């Protein structure tokens, strides 16, 4: 897979994630966030498990063993990010959730630098600043409007920043993206269901009432999109991938407008433009690097 093909998969991932905010927002009629997460990723697990088994049987061209601590850290950051995001979505708008989740774009380059000493490309830092500025304008250029849900989503962004760095490192070393996707899904399903049983008293009737949203979030957003992320990050640096994935905020805002009646003012649209510009900058940097290498 070429770098540009991987980037295209990441953009598709961002599109799916952005539209999935609708399902996550509307799929909690009588269903708590823990129950939603548990059922969602149980479905994701069922979708990807057969493919992971086929991947296991096929010997990868390049594969290294990693320490178990990296896999544990990956699961912890993924579970933390998913649960915090789902709690936050319950108390904030789809548009805010989409943009605030995109804050992880700023944390990824620095997390990669601190953990693995991987310096990001020069174009990534201004792209990150543009993405952060876009998020700021989404919120009306003020912090006074932040509520409890927004704060939970910001914490989720910090967790996802670490997850993006870890999944990139792990799949590049092991060439096993499906196996580690299944590992993440299994961890989310187990933790979510345990918390739902003891905290929310989940029932089969409630699950069936929210079946369409759970199917979309579990099969499409979880099973397909998170797996595409893991596959694509074998070929794209984590910091660059984070900027492209921040495009989910654009798609979340558009989906919120079309399906839920959310509205963006002039500042919000300006923020959308800045996020889009950040994505273009990263792609231009990738093309420039590819051209220079060929020369």
* Token pair in block for residue 261: 């009646």
Helix, strand, coil percentages for the chain (3-state, nearest 5) = 80, 0, 20
Measured between alpha carbons, how far is 30 from 202 in angstroms, rounded to an integer?
A: 9
Measured between alpha carbons, how far is 156 from 152 in angstroms, rounded to an integer?
A: 6
What pLDDT, on the 0 to 100 scale, is given for residue 18? 82
What pLDDT, on the 0 to 100 scale, is given for residue 110? 79
Measured between alpha carbons, how far is 182 from 103 in angstroms, rounded to an integer?
A: 25
Q: What's the predicted TM-score (pTM) here?
A: 0.83
- Structural domain boundaries of the chain? 3-294
Measured between alpha carbons, how far is 102 from 141 in angstroms, rounded to an integer?
A: 16
What pLDDT, on the 0 to 100 scale, is given for residue 186? 96
**149 to each of 18, 63, 251, 284, how far by Cα in Å?**
17, 41, 20, 35
* Token pair in block for residue 155: 């914490």
What pLDDT, on the 0 to 100 scale, is given for residue 283? 65
What pLDDT, on the 0 to 100 scale, is given for residue 167? 92
What pLDDT, on the 0 to 100 scale, is given for residue 71? 93
What DSSP character marks residue 59? Answer: P
The closest of 91, 85, 121 to 103, measured between CA atoms, is: 85
* Token pair in block for residue 141: 């250029």
Measured between alpha carbons, how far is 181 from 223 in angstroms, rounded to an integer?
A: 8
Angle formed by the axes of helices 68-91 and 94-101, to 10°? 150
CB-CB contact of 264 with 95 (8 Å)? yes
* Tens-level pLDDT at each residue, the chain (295 residues): 787 888 889 989 988 988 887 888 888 888 999 999 999 999 999 999 999 988 888 766 566 788 899 999 999 999 999 999 999 988 887 767 777 777 787 778 778 888 887 776 677 778 777 877 876 786 666 655 678 888 898 899 899 989 999 999 999 888 899 999 999 999 999 999 999 999 988 888 999 999 999 999 999 998 999 999 999 988 888 877 877 887 777 787 777 777 767 677 788 788 778 877 877 776 666 566 556 655 5
**86 to each of 7, 168, 291, how far by Cα in Å?**
26, 23, 41
Which DSSP helix (H) or strand (E) runs through 180? helix 177-195
């Amino acid at each position: 897979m070429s770098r540009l093909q991987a980037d295209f998969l990441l953009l598709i991932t961002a599109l799916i994630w952005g539209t999935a905010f609708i399902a996550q927002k509307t799929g909690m009629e009588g269903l708590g966030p823990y129950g939603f997460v548990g059922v969602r990723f149980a479905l994701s697990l069922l979708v990807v498990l057969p493919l992971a088994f086929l991947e296991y049987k096929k010997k990868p061209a390049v594969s290294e063993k990693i320490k178990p601590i990296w896999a544990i850290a990956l699961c912890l950051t993924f579970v933390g990010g998913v649960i915090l995001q789902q709690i936050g979505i319950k108390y904030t708008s789809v548009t805010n959730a989409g943009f605030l989740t995109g804050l992880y774009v700023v944390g990824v380059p620095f997390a990669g630098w601190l953990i693995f000493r991987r310096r990001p490309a020069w174009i990534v830092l201004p792209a990150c600043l543009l993405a952060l500025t876009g998020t700021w304008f989404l919120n009306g250029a003020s912090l006074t409007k932040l509520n409890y849900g927004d704060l939970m989503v910001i914490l989720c962004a910090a967790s996802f920043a670490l997850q993006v760095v870890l999944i990139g490192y792990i799949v590049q070393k092991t060439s096993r993206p499906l196996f580690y996707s299944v590992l993440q899904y299994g961890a989310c399903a187990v933790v979510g269901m345990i918390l739902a049983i003891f905290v929310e008293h989940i029932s089969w009737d409630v699950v069936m009432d929210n079946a369409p949203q759970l199917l979309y979030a579990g099969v499409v957003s979880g099973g397909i999109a998170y797996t595409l992320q893991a596959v694509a990050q074998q070929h794209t640096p984590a910091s660059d991938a984070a900027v492209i994935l921040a495009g989910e905020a654009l798609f979340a805002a558009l989906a919120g407008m079309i399906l839920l009646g959310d509205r963006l003012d002039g500042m919000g649209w300006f923020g959308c433009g800045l996020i889009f510009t950040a994505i273009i900058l990263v792609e231009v940097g990738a093309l420039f690097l590819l051209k220079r290498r060929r020369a």
